[in-house]
Amino acid sequence: MSRFGRRVCAVLAACSAALHAVSLISATGITAVLTAVMLVVCLYCARDLWERGTLRAWTTVALMNLAMIALHLPMPAGHHHGASGVMPASHAVAMTAATWLALVEVTAAASVLFWRTRSREILLRERHGVHQTSRLQGAVAARRQQIAAVDP
């Protein structure tokens, strides 16, 4: 992905951190701790994407967003982690926005991972002379050529 695209995704990750900060306002107990951890992880991913955009960074973005979707999507619209049982409107809006943002981020990360690993596989095949054959078949063919060149 281009530097511009990578940095756009980094800004999206920073927006996820901001949405976690909004959720942190009304969180209590263990939920507050988990939300704070997620906020830090979002900022870590944003920094990683902004600076390097490594496969590790994209994988972390994809996995963290999938986990966020898996945790929040099945919950009822009015759920709350605290004791009062009523979710503040800002928290509900932040969670809905975060879920949609996570869908965008996981789609972008999966696309980048697919294309970057796919192109790497093709590059390795071309570099080692293995196009439609397995590595073993390519190695056997290369060895036969070496033997044929030495033994006329």
122, 128, 146, 151 from 137: Cα distances, Å: 17, 11, 14, 21
Say what the pLDDT of residue 104 is.
Answer: 94
pLDDT single digits (tens) 7-25? 999 999 999 999 888 888 8
35, 59, 109, 123 from 116: Cα distances, Å: 31, 12, 10, 11
Report whether 87 contacts 78 (CB < 8 A). yes
Question: How far apart, in whole angstroms, are the C-alpha atoms of residue 81 and residue 137?
Answer: 57
Question: How far apart, in whole angstroms, are the C-alpha atoms of residue 134 and residue 90?
Answer: 55
Say what the pLDDT of residue 140 is.
Answer: 75
Report whether 65 contacts 100 (CB < 8 A). no
Say what the pLDDT of residue 10 is.
Answer: 94
pLDDT single digits (tens) 70-88? 987 776 655 444 444 555 5
Token reading at 99: 């879920």
Question: How far apart, in whole angstroms, are the C-alpha atoms of residue 36 and residue 39?
Answer: 5
Say what the pLDDT of residue 61 is.
Answer: 92
130/112: higher pLDDT? 112
32/74: higher pLDDT? 32
